Amino acid sequence: MSLELLFAGHETTANMIALGTLWLVRNPDRAAVFANAELVPGAVEELLRLLTVTHAGRRRVALADVELGGVLIQAGEGVIAATDIANRDAAGFPEPGRFDAQRTPNHHLSFGFGVHQCLGQALARLELHVAYPALLRRFPTLTLAVPLEALAYRDGMGVYGVEELPVAW
């Protein structure tokens, strides 16, 4: 169990830092929010919502008939709860494609929900709260060192990310 927690925590957070960094260098006007300590928590939550790194979805089978969002799911039917799609649902997030560091409420599902929440979410949030502001302070002229089209993405696994992120400053 310890190895699983270590692996899951490392892979997800490392990919989130890389994807967030890519997003920030592509949106330098939005990166400025990380200079304001009061906006950092909301900015991190918004990046978590926009860049959900767990794309595998939660697979479940209905044990009984249940109505969800006006749709009847019958006992025995399979359901995939895709958090990356849910985090961009306009019914829950007005203007879901827009980054809003002050979005409230921001009930994204990047760490799951209910009894199926990520055990390491507090640590992950702390790491992101520290990493992005420190990175932008230390390297204020950070840019992508290759064309965007040259990046290779990790999309064949349960955790989404970039294979590598060449940067310059």
How does pLDDT run across 100-138, given as a tens digit for each residue? 999 999 999 999 888 888 888 999 999 999 999 999 999
Residue 125 lies inside a defined structural domain of this protein: yes
In degrees, rounded to 5, the angle at the alpha carbon of residue 106 between the alpha carbons of residues 58 and 112 is 20
Range of the domain at 159: 2-54+82-168
Residue 76 lies inside a defined structural domain of this protein: no
Residue 35 lies inside a defined structural domain of this protein: yes
pLDDT score, position 81: 84
Number of domains comprising the chain: 1
* Residue 26 belongs to domain with CATH number: 1.10.630.10
Residue 68 lies inside a defined structural domain of this protein: no
Residue 71 lies inside a defined structural domain of this protein: no
Residue whose tokens read 């294979």: 163
Start-end of H helices in the chain: 2-26, 28-31, 40-50, 83-86, 121-138
User: Could you tell me which residues are beta bridge partners of residue 80?
Assistant: 59
141 pLDDT more than 90:
yes
Residue whose tokens read 């025995």: 76
SS3 133: helix
In degrees, rounded to 5, the angle at the alpha carbon of residue 98 between the alpha carbons of residues 94 and 100 is 85
Residue 131 lies inside a defined structural domain of this protein: yes
pLDDT score, position 118: 86
Which residues, in sequence order, are CB contacts of 139 under 8 Å at separation 6+? 167, 169
Summary mean pLDDT of the chain: 92
Distance, C-alpha 24 to centroid of its chain: 13
Residue 70 lies inside a defined structural domain of this protein: no
Residue 111 lies inside a defined structural domain of this protein: yes
SS3 71: strand
Distance, C-alpha 52 to centroid of its chain: 3
